[in-house]
Each structure stands twice: as structure tokens, then as C-alpha cells.
Chain A
Amino acid sequence: MKSSLLTLGDPLGPKGRRRVLVASVVSAAAIVAVVAVAIRRLDENGQLDESKWRPLTQWAVFKFFLGGLGNTVKAALTAMAIALVVGGVMALARLARGWPQRWLAGLYVEFFRGLPLYLLILFSWLGLPKLGVDLDVFWYLVLALAVYNSAILAEIFRAGILSLDRGQGEAASAVGLRYWQAMGLVILPQAIRRMVPAIVSQLVTLLKDTSLGILLAYEELLRRARISSEFFQNPVHSFALVAVIYIAVNMTLSYVATRLEARQRRRYKAGAIQVGGLEDLAVTQATASARPAPVARPVSA
């Protein structure tokens, strides 16, 4: 792996190489020392005792965790499916010709995008029952996740559509396509391809956010870890296992997103819109403003 600072500076001479070697040895020793201190610390506090980690190797306990992961994935995928539909509608409404749709969709997106997901889950879980809404605990979580992510996805869709050259829409109307024909046949098929990596990385974020289910009585992965940690008195091990599971799943998904992006760059010679990479972040507005070409609306329907 070549770092950019190396390519910016001169190639290292014999003296520089020696210095890098010394720094490598010293830093490696420091890393080993830190790890050793951490292990000793764990040992001194009885965290390496068999009673702490042994339960996690039992199939029944591990199955309990896997079931939690299954519940996490179920909630995340359901919320994603709803958010994709609602987000798509909101994006189209925001790009529509009539001002009432544009205005309403804009209000929806800007309102929910600016709020912490935590607050939405709080309202859904504690507030809705007091307002007479009676749902299964699964739906309180999914509802909050779906509303929040639909606002984020609406921005991703909008950025994807706006990233197309305006000539695409103009050409479509020049050959006589109506607005919805142009959208469905010309603009969306191209825009959606560009959005796929951003959508996958939003799915990673959504999967991570599902861990807020620990607030509710919904038994997703983190809540099950909490239950298990209270039973076996091993919070460090239980939560570390959750972290490891999340890292494995998310890195796989991110790898898929990178491959998808590379594949489409090869096939369609068009890059993805730059929304992915910085998950968690509502970065889309920067992208949308950076590409000012608006989708050309057919002159008359």
C-alpha cells in the first residue's frame, strides 16, 4: 500500500529508510506494550476467567445472539423496503412541476433529516401508545427507522436524478416522450444505477442504527446481548461480540458496494454519485448543489 504522503514527497533515501525502520521497530514495540497492558488489565479484573467467555462459546447462547442478528436484519430490511418506496415518492415529488408537491415533500425531507433518529424512536415507542396507536413492538422500531431513512433516501434519489446531464431529459422530450415516459424510460434507469452504491452504504448505516432497538423491548442483537450480559455478568465480552458481528456484516456489505461501484464504472463508464463512503452523514445536499444541471422537464405534456 502506497500512501499519498510518500508520493507527494521525494522517494526515501538510505537515511530516510533507516529512520522508517527505527520508527517501525519503536512503534511496533509500543503497540505490543499497549496490548500487553490491556491484557493484564483484563486479567487483573478477572475478565479472562472462563466463566466470562465460556458461555459465549455454547451453541445455545450463540444461537441466542444469531437470533438477535436475524431480528436486526428483519427490522432493517423491512424499514429499508418502506423507506425506498416513500423516499422514491418524496424525491419525485420534490422534482415535480407543481409547487404544492415540491413544498410538502421538501418540508417532510428537511424536517426528518434534521432530527436525531433517537428522538423519532423515542416518540414512536413512548409517544404513539399514549396517542392511542397500538402496534407490535417491531413496528414501533421499523416505523421510526423507515421515516428517518426515507428522508435520507429521498435526498440520495434526488442527487442521483440531478447528477444526470440535462441533455438526457431534453433529448427525451425532443423525441416526443411525455414527462413520465421520459422519467421511466430515460432518466430513472440511468439514475438508479448511479445510486446503487449509495443505497447499499445507507443500508449499512440503517443496519447500525437498528441497534437503537436496545431502547425498545424489541429483541435485536444489542438488546439480546444486554440480556445475556446481565445473566452471565460479562458485559465486556457480550458487547465486544456484538461489535465483531456488526463489523463482519458491515465490511461484507461495504465490499459489495465497492464492487458494484467498480462494476458499473466499467460497464457504463459513469461513476456513482458521491453520497456513499461517509455513512451517517447527510452529505447529499453538498453533492446536489455541486452538480447544478437540473433534470430537464419536457416542455409540454
Chain B
Amino acid sequence: MDVVFDNLDLFLEGMRTTVLLTLLGFAGAFVIGIVVAAFRTSPVPPLRAVGTFYVATVRNTPLAVLFVLFFFGLPDVGILYSRFTSAVIVLAAYTGAFVAETIRSGINAVATGQGEAARAIGLTFPQLMRIVVLPQAIRTVVAPLGSIFIALIKNSALAALISVADLAETAERLINETAQPLPIFLGAAVAYLLLTIPSGFAVGWIERKVAIKR
């Protein structure tokens, strides 16, 4: 295990990058998700089509393909970003499609009767959304959003494909440089589990906090 402790600073630096990738990626995914979900539920047909197209294409394309297309393809059309920025954009674009689907299904999960009742007592559409629909939709969306967040922690490892120095890339470099792959793998694994398992508990906690007590 000495290899791990000797290179602890590298692991911590990698962990920091992974956390940054995840947080920035999730923030971007959240914005994209809300916009796309709004498009998909809007009464304007062209916007609905754009939203549906985005979700269908991005969800069915492997993340690795998006990474290589963005990083090796787009410079040919003059779109060039740093490795880290590229990784954040790709992760946000990919995760955004899943967030959009989740938000949309959260809105769909609110019973139609709720909307009818709100209209019956004379609420306007914005009031109906703010007071009746969204508070219920957000609750049902917490658990799947948490799963998306945890999946994003794991997916961020693909940034190593374009040599962003995250945890996975650190492990890759050290496995190449030393003759002790097992301790390094276990070290990186523990580092990832230190991120994913507490996130799982946090999601469960939030879920219980916002649950509707009946």
C-alpha cells in the first residue's frame, strides 16, 4: 500500500478534480435539463421537437463517443476548448438529457386532478405551477436526481479519455509508472467510494426530509 501513501497528494489532487468536474457538470446539466424539460412540455411544436430530438440523440449516444467527437472532432470546425472545460461541457450536455427526462416525468407524475382542482379554485397558471404542481414534482424527482448525480461522479472518470488529471487519470498514470497495479486500483476505488457512498446517504437523507408524510 506504500505506493498509495507515497502518492497521496496526487490522489487528493485527482479527487479534487473529480469533485470539480462533477459539481460543475451537474450545475450545467441542471440548467440544460430544466430548459429541455420546459421545451418538451411547452405548447410550441418546434420547441417540443427540439427537446425530443436532444433527449433521444444524447441519451442513446455513448458518453465516450460524445467525448471523442467534442475533443477530436470539433477543433476541425474551429471549436476549441481546454481539456477541463471540454470535459465539463460534455458531461453537462450528456447528463442534461437525463435530468430533463427526470424533471419531465416528475411533472407528469402529478395527478391531473391536482391541476383541475387548482383551476377550479381559480388559480392562474403560474400560481398553479408554483403552489400546487412543482412542490409535488420536486419531491418525486429527488431520488432519481440523486442517482443521476452519483452516476455523474462515476461518468466523470471518462474525462481521463482526454487526459484531464482526475482520479481515473491519476490511477492510469501510476499504474503505468509503477509495478503495483493492485494497491493503486484499490486506492482509487476507495477514493471513488468515498465520494459515491456518502452521496448515496445524503440523497436518502434529503429524500426522507422532503417526503410527504401521510
How far, in Å, is A1 (CB) from chain B's closest CB?
7
In the complex, B35 has a CB within 8 A of chain A: no
Residue of B nearest to A22 (CB): B44
Say whether B28 faces chain A, with CB atoms less than 8 Å apart. no
Query: Provided the pairs A24-B44, A27-B47, A208-B62 are in contact, do residues A247 and B147 lie with their beta carbons within 8 angstroms?
Result: no
Which residues of chain A in 215-249 are interfacial with respect to chain B, using CB atoms and an 8 Å cutoff?
A: 215, 222, 226, 229, 235-236, 239-240, 242-243, 246-247
Interface of chain B residues 117 through 176 with chain A (CB within 8 A): 118-119, 125, 128-129, 133, 143-144, 147-148, 150-151, 153-158, 160-161, 167-168, 171-172, 175-176
Chain B interfacial residues counted at CB < 8 A: 78
Q: Residues of B contacting A23 with CB < 8 Å?
A: 44, 47
Using CB atoms, name the residue of chain A closest to B18. A116
Chain B residues with CB under 8 Å of A9's CB are: 115, 119, 125, 128
Q: Chain A, interface size: which category?
A: 35 or more
Query: What are the residues of chain A within 8 A of B112 when measuring CB–CB?
Result: 7-8
Residue B212, interface by CB 8 Å: no
State A45–B63 Cα separation when bound (angstroms). Answer: 25
A281 touches B98 (CB 8 A): yes
> CB-defined interface of A15-58 with B at 8 Å, one 1/0 digit per residue?
01000100110011001000000000110110100000000000
Q: A116-B168, A240-B69 are in contact. Are A5 and B43 (CB under 8 A)?
A: yes
B-side interface mostly: helix
Which positions 87-145 of chain A face chain B at CB distance < 8 Å? 110-111, 114-119, 122-123, 126-128, 130-131
Q: Which of A156-164, A178-186, A282-290 contacts B (4 or more CB under 8 A)?
A: A282-290
B72 at the binding interface (Cβ < 8 Å):
yes
Q: What A residues does B64 contact at CB under 8 A?
A: 211-212, 214, 222
A247 touches B168 (CB 8 A): no
Complex CA gap A31/B47 in Å reads 9
Say how far A64's CB is from chain B's closest CB, in angstroms. Answer: 17
A122 touches B171 (CB 8 A): yes
B74 interfacial contact with A, CB 8 Å: yes
Where the two chains meet, the residues of B that have a C-beta atom closer than 8 Å to any C-beta of A are: 40-48, 50, 56-57, 59-66, 68-69, 72-74, 76-78, 98, 101-102, 104-105, 107-108, 110, 112, 114-115, 118-119, 125, 128-129, 133, 143-144, 147-148, 150-151, 153-158, 160-161, 167-168, 171-172, 175-176, 179, 181-182, 184-185, 188-189, 192-193, 196-197, 200, 207
Q: List 21 A-B contacts (CB under 8 A).
A: A4-B41, A4-B108, A23-B47, A24-B45, A27-B50, A28-B46, A115-B189, A122-B160, A122-B171, A122-B175, A123-B175, A126-B172, A126-B176, A208-B60, A214-B161, A236-B73, A239-B72, A277-B101, A280-B151, A281-B150, A286-B143
